A and B are shown apart, each in its own frame.
Chain A
């Protein structure tokens, strides 16, 4: 059992969730309520990681943020180290591939909040910030919880992008899914089995949370 890898995976999942959710709330809210040219294009772009092989996403990330690419050089100049093959690089890649998992449940949740409720809040004297905090978020929270659980679980299980952008550096980029692959390659099936069981349990809990919340939201709306 590679505890370092498990810890790293959990850290990656946590960071990805914490950074991505506020961003996803803003994007999802805009997509739910605003009409703007190119909206369909933006939605398609966000959904892309769902269908693209992770290796393709990883390849483009390497090409864009590698040490020879302008973006990679810019990052290196600003932070004094490369982005690829580091934990930060993994977080950045993970944010991208998790966009649909965070944005889509939130967008559905905001779409289900009637526009009239916001108007009623304004007419009751609530500022836009208060309307967001007291009306919109409490009604959209099952979407937020779903987004968090899905992002967390999906990051735990992410393999292709991590391998492409992170490699398999112990303590830096070797996540639990990479560790499982390594153990299988080394015919250490016992280790792989233990780690797989842990990952299975964590994912099951996360997905269970998502479906449980979905049921509760349905019951409440009735």
Chain B
């Protein structure tokens, strides 16, 4: 058991099923991601000591906060957590400054006021300390909540969907501020979010949850590009997940041949699969490269796949292309994006033929099934 940072193992069959394990080192930001109802908030509440799971263990910096086996559970007051609630849970009858001061019980009375002002300055709210929560904007309230959570000098900082309740412009701004503020926060930080882009942008590591169960830990890049299972890939919003069979293996060259319907694809061999194995496989949309009509482009000889365009949608500057590989209506469909400019120059239209390359390095094989 590492003595630095937070370690948690939580399990219970009901009311919200949990089977989760996570670790977060000092200075690290761990994002808990997963669909609504995956148990993300429940895990935060268990770490904070608001709820008590049936089984498990929570320790922070070597201090045991919860151990079901020993029937030990410290109350929230003794856990030194800073928790930013989803809708902030500011005390409505107190000013912003008094909200922060409320969490400064461990500081000598005479110093509380100064410290509260410093914290409000830190979150860019200097001068608004006397306002009550109903006199602040959503973004300002979130900052007060963050200042209050930091006031306790938390051993772990817990953020429950802290950007969910504000508009997009404010969200981007607050996300930038958090990224900057993180340099000053030594405590391990756990961010609950269902926004994958937010998790990828802010987190050092991610933990994917589904129905209360931890499916995979890893860096945002690992989880996005090398998901452990097809389920993780789907939860990470990967559109290109398919079934295939390993046709051949060339261990010396480090290559596998993958049979995907009628098509044979070349992929990296990571040593886990043998010829004849049924596999699931995926490819990130960024590794699907359109062939230009007029001249060859990068990786043209790599896994060329031809099909017809089933759907073309313009989203501002980009175009989302769905390419049906094969003639039948239930043939697999590859989804990827090109710039709107490229789509127009190549005269992409629904029904038109197109060829793409699937970059071999980006083809990722997984065990079949869930």
Binding site for B on A (CB under 8 A): 114, 116-117, 119-127, 130, 134-135, 138-139, 220-222
**Residues of chain A with a CB closer than 8 A to B75's CB:** 122
Binding site for A on B (CB under 8 A): 45, 48-50, 75-77, 81-83, 85, 87, 89-93, 102-103, 105-106, 134, 148-149, 151-152
**Residues of chain B with a CB closer than 8 A to A125's CB:** 77, 103, 105-106, 152
Sort A-B residue pairs by CB-CB distance and give the 8 closest, nearest first: A124-B103, A120-B89, A122-B76, A116-B89, A123-B83, A125-B105, A119-B50, A123-B76
**Residues of chain B with a CB closer than 8 A to A221's CB:** 92
Q: Can you pick out 7 interface pairs between chain A and chain B where the beta carbons lie within 8 Å of each other? A: A117-B91, A119-B85, A121-B102, A125-B77, A125-B105, A134-B102, A221-B92
Say yes or no: A123 contacts B102, CB within 8 Å: no
With A117-B91, A119-B76, A139-B92 as contacts: A124 and B102 at CB distance below 8 Å: yes
Bound form: Cα–Cα A117–B81 in Å: 15
Q: Give the nearest-CB partner of B79 in chain A.
A: A123
Q: Which of A119, A124, A127, A130 gathers most chain B CB within 10 Å?
A: A124
Bound form: Cα–Cα A126–B92 in Å: 16
Q: Apart from A116-B87, A122-B50, A123-B48, list 13 A-B contacts with CB within 8 A.
A: A116-B89, A117-B89, A119-B48, A120-B91, A122-B49, A123-B81, A123-B149, A124-B102, A124-B105, A126-B77, A130-B105, A135-B91, A139-B92
**Residues of chain A with a CB closer than 8 A to B49's CB:** 122
Say yes or no: B102 contacts A126, CB within 8 Å: yes
Say yes or no: B93 contacts A138, CB within 8 Å: yes
**Residues of chain B with a CB closer than 8 A to A130's CB:** 105
Bound form: Cα–Cα A126–B151 in Å: 13
**Residues of chain A with a CB closer than 8 A to B103's CB:** 124-125
**Residues of chain B with a CB closer than 8 A to A124's CB:** 102-103, 105, 148, 151-152
Bound form: Cα–Cα A130–B106 in Å: 14
Bound form: Cα–Cα A125–B153 in Å: 11
Say yes or no: B85 contacts A116, CB within 8 Å: yes
Say yes or no: B91 contacts A123, CB within 8 Å: no
**Residues of chain A with a CB closer than 8 A to B92's CB:** 117, 139, 220-221
**Residues of chain A with a CB closer than 8 A to B152's CB:** 123-125
Say yes or no: A126 contacts B89, CB within 8 Å: no
Say yes or no: A122 contacts B87, CB within 8 Å: no
